[in-house]
Amino acid sequence: MTAAPHAVRTRITAAFTDAGVTGQLHATDIDTDAAIGVGSDVTVPTASVHKLCLIATLYREASLGRLDLRRPVDIPAEGRSPGATGLAVMRDAARLSLRDLATLTVAVSDNTAADLLWDAVGLDTVNRCMTDLGLTRTVAVQTMRELYATMREDAAGSPAALTDPAVVARLRALDPALTNRSTPRETARLLAAIWRDEVCAGERAAQYGQELREVLGLQAWSHRLAAGFPFDDVRVSGKTGSLPTLRHEAGVVEYPDGGRYAVAVFTRAAATTVTLPAADAVIGRAARIAVDALRAAAA
């Protein structure tokens, strides 16, 4: 017997509560549009999940002939965007193509690589792409370097202050009115559009669309969304987002029987502790509850 949607939403909410977070989720069957959500239309700060919008726009622009993904970009050793991975922690000058920067942006959430793409594409272009796709509540207002600059200002330049509840409460990077934002429903809709080949256009749309999906499948982290689907024959493509108290992931779960599900999960922890394994794990747990319900309803 298929669980009623209300019962499924109750289970998802209980999972968030047990993990010490508040959360929003939207999951949709890419091929039927069947969906289930908890707070699907709540506006949330997207953190690095907004890199999905950036990469989708990059490939759309390339498919339309407006930029060459092979174009090399020189990357000086100095002046890189803050971050704990990728180019941000490398010491020497480098040169990479736009598409290799896209790979770093997704695979290890490289902020320097992302900002080089923001510079190449432009905030306005990304926002126009989202509007063209009907995602009117998905808005970019700042690059990663700009986002982290507001955090330094709000924390008075002290990284240690980012675990102080009083400081965290005033971070502009956590206020969806002041930072990059979307809703769980729109984020899942973007992923569904990518998997339906509705983002890229032109004569080579299929080629660019396939490469876009391949790039989105390269993420190295498996402790959030993918943790809910620990099967060798289930493919999970996703993008995480993390800021003080925020742990997010949005991605696509593909089953061997052809089932495809776009899932967006956004959470905020009550604790300001940096390491909260339960808060990471509940993203996969909540997504699994939702996807199982969608699969049972279709059976």
DSSP 246-274: EEEEEEEEE-TTS-EEEEEEEEEESS--S
In 108-246, alpha helices (H): 111-121, 123-132, 144-154, 165-168, 184-195, 205-216
Question: What pLDDT, on a 0 to 100 scale, did the predictor assign at position 1?
Answer: 41
pLDDT digits (tens, 9 = 90+) for 8-28: 999 999 999 999 999 999 999
Domains parsed from the chain with CATH numbers: 5-298 (3.40.710.10)
pLDDT of residue 2: 56
* C-alpha of 236 from chain center: 13
CA angle in degrees (0–180, nearest 5) for 20-140-144: 75
* H or E element in which residue 239 lies: strand 235-243
How remote is the C-alpha of 173 from its chain's centroid?
A: 15
Q: At what angle do helices 205-216 and 51-63 cross, to 10 degrees?
A: 160
Quick: pLDDT tens for 181-233.
999 999 999 999 999 999 999 999 999 999 999 999 999 999 999 999 999 99
Strand pairing class (21-29; 35-38):
antiparallel
From first CA to last CA, the distance across the chain in angstroms is 10
Reported pTM: 0.96
DSSP states of 16-65:
HHHTTEEEEEEEEETTT--EEEESTT--EE-GGGGHHHHHHHHHHHHHTT
Question: Given the structure tokens 């099967």, which residue do they identify?
Answer: 231
Please tell me whether residue 84 adopts helix, strand or coil conformation. coil
